[in-house]
Structure 1
């Protein structure tokens, strides 16, 4: 199979590329940073800076669209919101327009999104059929998803609503490790908000599984079967690191420090991967303590 990946140097994308290469697939990465791609994969993948560079004699079979400015890196100023939207929505629209222009089209587009699509819904169980509560994260994800779904008249389209990806190579877990190891791990607000998480191995394998399953279409929650609250996540991580955890970050302080972006930390989604289970995907890591143990004890 020939895969075209956007976001191939990101947390999920880089791991996905490695797995695809190991399985003998051809991989093309769309990136403005050829050197970064080369540093990660040497000459095992082809790098293109523009969709026009893709050789149509070697047609793309599957497009996996994971590009996007990290949502939690900076406060959500109007300037930052524009960056977030352009990196997701504009790129996806360009990708779909390119697909529509091809004589020999890929058969599948798998495009990223996030469980933030549901908005903050407290302890309400959420599946792919659940409604949403509107906030900025929802609006961003909705526009992103709709841009991808514009290709559904031409090819199979799947949307991946990703939870918190646990990996030692980046993301939320890597940022939490130092303060937790120093004994400064803390619950956020009241700690009752749910944190839908997924092990890096499962998010990569789920994407590959969906890409190779022609009957899979529509939206998929890319979250482990057992979401936990922030309080449970905090205590579980502290136990794995053999450190105490008794501190709390008050809601008022987080709102003052982060502004509107604090909703990412103080809100939550109790999301379940119903459709992934329906199509037969079997999660390798269903419980948080096992997932953290695996990651923290790797050589």
Structure 2
């Protein structure tokens, strides 16, 4: 299968490209500069440009591009970058896909459990409405931007991903050194739910969505057992054999991180109903499993 991927150098994209190529798939990578290699296709999300010639013959397109939510403090300028990198990029790709004489069978777009906002102790699946605030608003626009591909008859799916447990990148990669040094601890009161997924299961789930014609629309890509931040803290301590006595007060997080602190202190108890109903099996379903897998990798 020939598959085009944006965001191929990110944590998930790198792992997905590696997995697909190891199984013999032909992967082309969309890059934001002139193409320099045979497996590259130029695109520019902000200019709404895609070299559509590079998409010809692709049976699937995977869109994982987007500025890192936790990479910078949320200034007004960076909020705009978070939104535009997702919404404009998805719109450009959807328009490009729709313009092809023979479009791909599926467009798989990244999304996030941030769609649901703060759900407290309430368990939510794909039928839940969007929450309130900046990230839910971005997620709604992000998914709506794929409409041209859907209208062209392409199966469109949105992978609403949780926190990816990995030492190779993302938020968890920054947590491991702190806990290993004995400086890890709960955030706020630690009662907020975290919806996580092991990197291995993230990649397997994306490939399952690509292969499953019945999966369209939002698909929660999270482990089936969301846990509280307190439970995450305890699991990290067990895995690394370190104390976890420190706690970061909520007020300190808000001072240090501004609006971003709301997402760290918010609670999202998200379950992957569609994945489970479609027969997907998680290799690392619990937080202890996911942390153990991350420590054994890389």
Residue by residue over 1:201-237, the C-alpha shift from the partner in whole angstroms, topping out at 9 and shown as x without a partner, is: 1111111111011121111000000010001001101
How far apart in 1 are the matches of 2:2 and 2:206? 15
Find runs of 4+ consecutive structure 1 residues off by over 6 angstroms: none
Q: Partner of 1:29 in structure 2?
A: 29
Q: Deviations over 1:134-163 (max 9, x none)?
A: 111100111001112342122100011000
With the length of structure 1 as denominator, give the TM-score of the two structures: 0.93
Task: Supply the distance in 2 between the matched residues of 1:105 and 1:11 (Cα, whole angstroms).
Answer: 27
Match of 2:225, SS state, is: coil
CA RMSD of aligned residues (A): 1.6
Look up the match of 1:256.
255
Alignment partner of 1:102 out of 100, 103, 115: 100
Conservation of the 8 A alpha-carbon contact between 2:130 and 2:140: no
Q: How many residues align?
A: 291
1:2, 1:164 → 2: CA distance? 28
The structural deviation recorded for 1:170 is 0.7
SS in structure 2 opposite 1:232? helix
Gap runs ≥5 in structure 1: none
Match of 1:210 in 2: 209
Alignment partner of 1:5 is 2:10: no
Within 5 Å, give how 1:57-72 maps onto structure 2.
Answer: 58-72=56-70
Q: Distance in 2 between matches of 1:170 and 1:215?
A: 31
State the distance in 2 between where 1:297 and 1:208 align: 22
Measured in 2, the distance between the counterparts of 1:7 and 1:139 equals: 21
Give CA deviations for 1:257-280 in whole Å, capped at 9, x if unaligned: 111111121002100000001111
| Residue 119 (structure 1) aligns with | 117
Q: CA shift at 1:192, angstroms? A: 0.5
**1:147 and 2:145 equivalent?**
yes
- Offset at 1:165? 0.6
Q: Which residue of 2 aligns with 1:227?
A: 226
- Partner Cα distance (1:55, 1:77) in 2: 36
Equivalent position of 2:46 in the other structure: none
Q: Which residue is 1:48 aligned to?
A: 41
For 1:215 and 1:132, the matched residues in 2 are separated by 23
TM-score, normalised to structure 2's length?
Answer: 0.94
Task: Indicate the residue corresponding to 1:295 in structure 2.
Answer: 294
- 1:234-245 maps to which residues of 2 (within 5 A)? 234-245=233-244
Secondary structure in structure 2 of the residue aligned to 1:187: strand
